[in-house]
Structure 1
């Protein structure tokens, strides 16, 4: 008979995010120390990785950090001379999926540490809908457990942040719930990342045997945005990564390779998200 008191844990998911998205990462590295480290098996059902930022700029200096965010929620503790206005006095916050370019002006000194959830991970953990967090930064108290909030607030951001993440993990459930819809979201997202030939939701329907309507419903609940948006964002990450890596071919070829059917639509989408046309972005490198 199966052991119903200790059901098997769901398998650890394949990677569901990359480290792409930072515009001109070499410039960020001149001003900000960025660290990333993997989540432990204890929480990896929900969490993709941990990360931290620290900076100490001289008085009067500043740097505009620009990021094309992932379809993920983050849980962070943030301290500094010039806190983000959207924190509204909170130190431990949840930031939902951001559908636009994420801009932060780096000034003075600051420290940030946090968890990047898998797409849908925070909704699966809390049972809440990610739609409520899209394009919002909220105090974490009403969303995650008091134990997680307290452990994040207690992190020594000036010291060894990684050493304190065990206490954060202690606030997570011992076992993940069996959630077939969340597992399907993870499989679909992992497929988007693994196979660059997937360029449309119709491709996902055929490969996973699920309707576009079901995918839309599941993604809106767990991720906070639809599957078409997620796929387009990952492909835009690929485009920016190629340009940052020195791609010097025709932009029309780059657009076609990543799912755009003509350069006009590609240029429009790139400009709307990044803030300047791809030709200018490449020249500014």
Structure 2
């Protein structure tokens, strides 16, 4: 049985990077984020909401690069998802591909973004069960949590959203400890996110004194993907953010700055994930 430890001080274990063409999104969709309370902060990164009201016939193709995080959401006014069988409260696991949503009409989404591994640590489920899937929240979180989120007034203002998410937080058990394996996953992910000199999983294993087998096992259970995938996504987020911020130097230099020493490999990975080549993405900016 794994050792238990006190909840760690909140670390930044996820970023807001990865939204493709963020300026275009902000003109059409109101995006808001606010912090989770100390009560759930060891497992939850933040809360967020999306609102949009587009004219008839107007639409916007929103694209986001994947993150190693799961979300618990309630949504109304969006396109029905057959996999939810009419349920509004859903769990979305780690999405390993570019996430595309056709935004049109009127929609409201409010969600809780878990830290990498946070949902698995809270529920005891394996995150592999949700990788590349959206499933009804019932059966994953308690009925009290689902009910609290489902009762949220999505037509209310920001105050209604905040009070509603406070009620959702209160529905989670208050006697949870942090499993040492999950605490180690958080430490590793935080390092991957913050230390731009990490380009290989071997560097991570050496710093954290953890074996390849152990790290792979823990990442697959708690996050749903392996450590190599997480590290590669964070470095690609850095590349896209640099381009969105106006980087206009040589793309070979940008690739090397973020650990891609083979230009063909970099271009192939970028195109597979983003949908266009780095040069084309910069032109479209």
TM class by smaller structure: over 0.9
Q: Kindly report which structure 2 residues correspond to 1:209-220, keeping only aligned pairs within 5 A, or say none.
A: 209-220=209-220
* Cα deviation 1:108-127 (Å, max 9, x = unaligned): 00000000000000000000
**Residues 1:117 and 2:114 are matched in the alignment:** yes
Q: Distance in 1 between matches of 2:205 and 2:127?
A: 22
Report the equivalent of 1:3.
Answer: none
In the alignment, is the contact (CA less than 8 A) between 2:5 and 2:179 conserved in 1? no
Matched, 1:166 2:163: no
Unaligned 5+ runs, structure 2: none
1:238 aligns with 2:238: yes
Residues 1:134 and 2:131 aligned together: yes
Q: Distance in 2 between matches of 1:118 and 1:8?
A: 17
Q: Deviations over 1:172-231 (max 9, x none)?
A: 111322411000000000001111001100000110000111100000000000000000
Separation in structure 2 between the aligned mates of residue 225 and residue 153 of structure 1, nearest angstrom: 29
- In structure 2, how many angstroms separate the alpha carbons of the residues matched to 1:8 and 1:191? 20
Write the mapping of 1:1-285 to structure 2, written as runs, cut at 5 A: 9-80=6-77, 82-159=79-156, 160-285=160-285
TM-score (norm 2): 0.95
Name the count of aligned residue pairs.
279
Q: Is the 8 A contact 1:84 1:104 kept in 2?
A: no
Deviation of the 1:158 alpha carbon: 1.2
Q: Distance in 1 between matches of 2:188 and 2:78?
A: 41
Provide structure 1 residue ranges, at least 5 long, that are not aligned to the other structure: 1-6
How far apart are residue 76 of structure 1 and its match?
0.1
In structure 2, C-alpha distance between the alignment counterparts of 1:89 and 1:278, rounded to whole Å: 39
Over 3 Å counting, the alpha-carbon distance change for 1:42 and 1:205 in structure 2 is same
1:257: how far off? 1.0
CA contact (8 A) 2:8 2:183 kept: no
Note the alpha carbon deviations across 1:79-131, whole angstroms, 9 max, x for none: 00533455442200000000000000001000000000000000000000000
